[in-house]
Amino acid sequence: MSQIKPQTPPPSTSHVLLSYPAPYVLLVTINRERAMNSIPFAGHTEMGEVFDWFDREPNLRVAIITGAGKKAFCAGQDLIELGKIRSKEVKMSPALMRHPLSGFGGISRRMGKKPIIAAVNGFALGGGFEIVLGCDMVVAAPSATFGLPEALRGIFAGAGGPARLVRNVGIPIASEMALTGVPITAQRAKELNLVNRISPSQDTVVDEAIKLANSIANISPDAAIVTRAALREAWETGSVERATQLTIERYNEALNSGENALEGLKAFAEKRKPSWKPSKL
C-alpha cells in the first residue's frame, strides 16, 4: 500500500470498495460479485460522489475502476431491483431512480478533471460497457467481453454509451454491437481500439492498470488535467481546432503561471526528478 493517503475523508460507501494501491492512485472496486457487479440506483449516487471526491482530493491523480471476482466487471443496471420496482414490490421515489449527472456508475457521461482507467476483469455489459466507454484508458483481462444487450431486452442503452461507441469505432461497428446485442472479445476490442492493452492473465489485470496509472501519476498533476481536458474536448466537440482553442482559453494562463510548470522546467534543466505539488486547477 502507498504511504501517500488522501488529505480529505472519502464518502462512505457500501456498493464499492476504495483502496490506494500506489502513490496518488485510487482503486474503486464494484463489490457486488454475487449480483455480477450490477449496480442498483443507490450505487450510482454513491459512485458519483466517489468520483466527485476523487477530482477534488489533492493527493489523488488517477483512478482505476474494476469489479470484484473473476467473472464480471459490471453487468449493468441491477435488473432484479428494477423488476421489483416495476412490479410495485418495492416502492422507490422517482427522484432516487436517476443516475448522477456523470452518468452510469458516475462515469459513463463524466467530464471530470482527472483520468480513470478501466481494469475490465470479466464481462462489461450494458451500463458496464458504458462505464468502460466513459473511461480514459482500458486494460482488459484475456477473458473480458464487451456488449450492449439492451435492444435484446426491448430497451435502449441510455447512459451515453452508443454515442461514445460511434465516436470510437464508427457507425458500422457501433450499429452491429448495439442492434444485435452480440458481445465482442477482449482481442476484438483491442483491434477496434476500445482497449489499450490485454493483461497477461486474469489475475494481473489490476496490476497492469496500476502500471499504467503509475505512469500518469508520475507526471505533473496540472499537465495531466489540462492534457486530458484537450483530449476530451476534441472527443466531445469533434472539432480539433475548436477543442484546442477551448483548452487554451480555459487553462493556458493558469497552467503556465503555476508552480508545477516552473518545477518541471527547473527539474529538466537540473537533470533531476521533479517534485510536483497538488494541482490547484
Residues acting as catalytic residues: 130, 150
How far does CA 22 lie from the centroid of its chain?
18
Cell numbers found for residue 177: 454491437
Distance, CA of 14 to CA of 4 (rounded, Å) = 24
Helix, strand, coil % in the chain, rounded to nearest 5 = 45, 15, 40
Strand ranges inside 62-169, DSSP E: 62-67, 72-74, 116-120, 123-125, 137-140, 145-147
- Inter-residue contact 133 to 160 (CB < 8 Å): yes
What are 26's strand-pairing partners?
63
Q: Are 160 and 134 contacting, i.e. CB atoms less than 8 angstroms apart?
A: yes
Distance (Å, whole) CA 257 – CA 122: 44
Strands across the sheet with 197-198, in order? Answer: 16-22, 25-30, 62-67, 116-120, 137-140, 197-198
Assess contact for 6 and 57: CB atoms under 8 A: yes
Q: Are 223 and 259 in contact (CB under 8 A)?
A: no
Q: Please tell me what DSSP assigns to residue 273.
A: -
